[in-house]
Amino acid sequence: MPPVLHRQGWIEVIAGPMFSGKSEELIRRVKRALIARQRVVVFKPRLDNRYHPAYVVSHDGERVEAIPVGRAQEMEAHLDPLPDVVAVDEVQFLDEGLLPLVERLAQRGVRVILAGLDLDFRGEPFGLMPELLARAEFVEKLTAICPRCGAPATRTQRLVNGQPARYTDPVILVGAEEHYEPRCRACHQVRY
Ligand SMILES: [Zn+2]
């Protein structure tokens, strides 16, 4: 391990479809920073209540404590004193305020770890992700396995009542039975 001569900040992004292990990878990086006795603050959007509101939880059950935020601006209150590492899960759901915030943190020497879906169920860039991917020093794109053909899955298939979702479907469909699975480019389907 080389000596740390000066404190250097940067942005790293972990991207990929659902079930590609993004939260797991974020948790792995956070735990390593904690072992190195670094001060780490973890955030997640408040709308994500899949498991527990105060943790980032991976599909294999690993977890780290996280502060749920409704807007990026709410993070500011938790960043004084400035931590060594700031990690944010599910960044595709956060507002544009995240961009200047993460730039400022990296500029001030903070290692920023961001995880999120790069593509929505239509296969189109999701929220802030294109901008974050461009600004990041380091990008890791994870893949899942396509259950149809076994190829690396880069996309998230949305199924509504067993059918591929329509392009025009809203993000939340009341009364419909929804299911998501990873798919490769060839097997990913959207109804137009
Ligand atoms: Zn496939």
Q: Which two tokens stand for residue 166?
A: 């329509």
In a domain, 172, yes or no: no
In a domain, 167, yes or no: no
183 Cα to the center of ligand 1, angstroms:
5
**Tens digit of pLDDT for each residue in 63-122?**
999 999 999 999 999 999 999 999 999 999 999 999 999 999 999 999 999 999 999 999
Domain residue limits at 113: 10-142
54 Cα to the center of ligand 1, angstroms:
35
CA torsion, ordered 130, 133, 135, 139, to nearest 10 deg = 180
In a domain, 133, yes or no: yes
In a domain, 174, yes or no: no
186 Cα to the center of ligand 1, angstroms:
6
181 forms beta bridges with: 157
**Tens digit of pLDDT for each residue in 125-179?**
999 999 999 999 999 999 999 999 999 999 999 999 889 999 988 766 677 788 9
152 Cα to the center of ligand 1, angstroms:
7
180 Cα to the center of ligand 1, angstroms:
14
Number of domains in the chain: 1
In a domain, 73, yes or no: yes
pLDDT at 50: 54
22 Cα to the center of ligand 1, angstroms:
20
Residue 170: asked if its preceding bond is cis (omega within 30°), the reply is no
Those residues with Cβ within 8 angstroms of residue 89's Cβ, 6 or more apart along the chain or in another chain: 22, 23, 26, 42, 43, 44, 48, 56, 66, 115, 116
In a domain, 186, yes or no: no
CA torsion, ordered 47, 53, 58, 61, to nearest 10 deg = -150
Task: Supply angle C-alpha 183, 132, 7, rounded to 5.
Answer: 125
In a domain, 106, yes or no: yes
176 C-beta neighbours (distance < 10 Å), count: 13
137 Cα to the center of ligand 1, angstroms:
30
Positions marked active-site: 90
Whether 180 contacts 159, CB under 8 Å: yes
What is the reported pTM? 0.91
Give the CATH number for residue 103.
3.40.50.300
**Tens digit of pLDDT for each residue in 37-67?**
999 999 999 875 555 568 998 888 889 999 9
Those residues with Cβ within 8 angstroms of residue 104's Cβ, 6 or more apart along the chain or in another chain: none
164 forms beta bridges with: 159
